[in-house]
Amino acid sequence: MTALETLVWTTVCRLDDLAVERGAAALLGADQVALFRLVDGRVLAVQQHDPFSDAYVISRGIVGSRRIDEVDVPTVASPMYKQVFALATGECLDVAGKTPARDLPPNLRSWPVRVRDGLLEVAS
């Protein structure tokens, strides 16, 4: 994103609609987004599309964490083939012996998220 581009914030739900440590799917324009509310109160958003199974299932994944460089990184494991992704960045941390379908990149796209007046907004 360049300095001339501005973020467009879209309200997708109320913060209270999200269960802690569970995923939820939302539409952001034409994009399907997987939202995760963490125990520490943060909400993170990554693409719903799993590049390994080619299915829209990431919000159904298992939330956890990985210790990387002495820091606990929040993660989600795909419910299909169990690849593990960093929720803050979308980086694939474990390909679980698979390659992405259709030569897709292994990492998930991520989106900025904010909460205003109890409403969850995602930027695009």
Q: What's the whole-number mean pLDDT along residues 72-84?
A: 97
CB 122 within 8 A of CB 28: yes
Give me the chain's average pLDDT, please. Answer: 94
Q: What's the whole-number mean pLDDT along residues 77-88?
A: 97
State what percent of residues in the chain have pLDDT above 70.
96
SS3 3: coil
pLDDT at position 96, please? 82
Does 2 have pLDDT greater than 70?
Answer: no
Question: How many Cβ atoms are within 10 Å of 94's Cβ, its own excluded?
Answer: 14
Q: What's the whole-number mean pLDDT along residues 111-123?
A: 97
Q: What's the whole-number mean pLDDT along residues 64-76?
A: 95
CA distance 51 to 47: 10
pLDDT at position 97, please? 87
CB-count exposure of residue 40 (10 Å: 0-12, 13-18, 19+): exposed
pLDDT at position 3, please? 53
CB 68 within 8 A of CB 92: no
**Could you read off the pLDDT of 17-62 as tens digits, one per residue?**
999 999 999 999 999 999 999 999 999 999 999 999 999 999 999 9
CA distance 42 to 40: 6
CB 123 within 8 A of CB 8: yes
